[in-house]
Amino acid sequence: MKEMNLFMILIGCTPKNRLIEQHDMFFGIANELKNLIPSINNFWPEANGVFHIDCWRKVTRVGNYNIEVIEKTNFKNNFQLFFINLGGYLPNEFEEYHHKQLIVAKSKAEAIKKVKETEFYKKFSFKGAQSHIDDYYGVAVDEIFNVQDILYPEFKEKYQLKITEATENKLDKNNIGYLNIQKMLKEK
């Protein structure tokens, strides 16, 4: 079996009847990024196959934890991988800023506690417009998800994430910038 990887992808497009570009996150499992294009098309049908990738990351390390894709087994993780979408504001700016964060924790409560320590959470907040997660979590986080739970069904059925402690804190590379899908598919 080829080595399979977890990919975190920020997709952008301007769907019909929208005034500005919209974005969504996609988590998929493949050996190469381009192999996820059909799944992304199914995930966001309103894009009508016309989308681009603004950012992507092959997720192998989060903090002091290794993230590995394995075939589905009875392996039980002591930790979970959470995706958190923080929203925040700056004074006098007509914008809600977002920060996408991966956190390894044993529970949602622990993940929220960790994300509240991030620089974004502290910086993009002021009286009357606090950085947030969502009111029903007791802090304000726009969204929080266990990544294993939000994998597209075709990936959930075959694979699971194995999370183990690492001896060093190494960062994954964030690939940032407009990536044209048609051009990527033509490349070998």
The answer as to whether 84 is a domain residue is yes
Give the H/E segment covering residue 153. helix 153-156
**What is the domain count for the chain?**
2
Instruction: Look at residue 186 and give its three-state secondary structure.
Output: helix
- What would the two tokens of residue 122 be? 């502290």
State which residues form the domain around 119: 64-147
> Region 23-46: what's the mean pLDDT?
93
Distances (CA, A) of 51 to 11, 40, 121, 147, 187: 7, 9, 30, 22, 17
Give the H/E segment covering residue 147. helix 147-150
The pTM of the whole model exceeds 0.75: yes
For residue 141, name the pLDDT band (cuts at 50, 70, 90). Answer: low
Instruction: Examine the domain organization and report whether 17 and 33 are in the same domain.
Output: yes
Contact between residue 55 and residue 10 where contact means Cβ atoms under 8 Å apart: yes
Beta strands 65-71 and 61-62, pairing class = antiparallel
> Region 34-55: what's the mean pLDDT?
89
Which CATH number goes with the domain that contains 53? 3.10.20.10
Closest CA to 109 of 139, 148, 130, 87: 139
Predicted confidence (pLDDT) at residue 136 exceeds the cutoff of 50: no
The answer as to whether 112 is a domain residue is yes
Count of other CB atoms within 10 angstroms of residue 87: 21
Tens digit of each residue's pLDDT (9 = 90 or more) over 66-110: 999 999 988 888 999 999 988 888 888 898 888 899 999 999 999
Instruction: Examine the domain organization and report whether 39 and 24 are in the same domain.
Output: yes
Instruction: Examine the domain organization and report whether 69 and 138 are in the same domain.
Output: yes
Which residue pairs, CB below 8 angstroms and at least 24 apart, start in 42-48?
42/152, 43/152, 44/11, 44/13, 46/15, 46/16, 47/11, 47/13, 47/15, 48/15, 48/16
The answer as to whether 167 is a domain residue is no
**φ, ψ dihedrals at 86, nearest 5°:** -85, 140
- What would the two tokens of residue 118 be? 């991030």
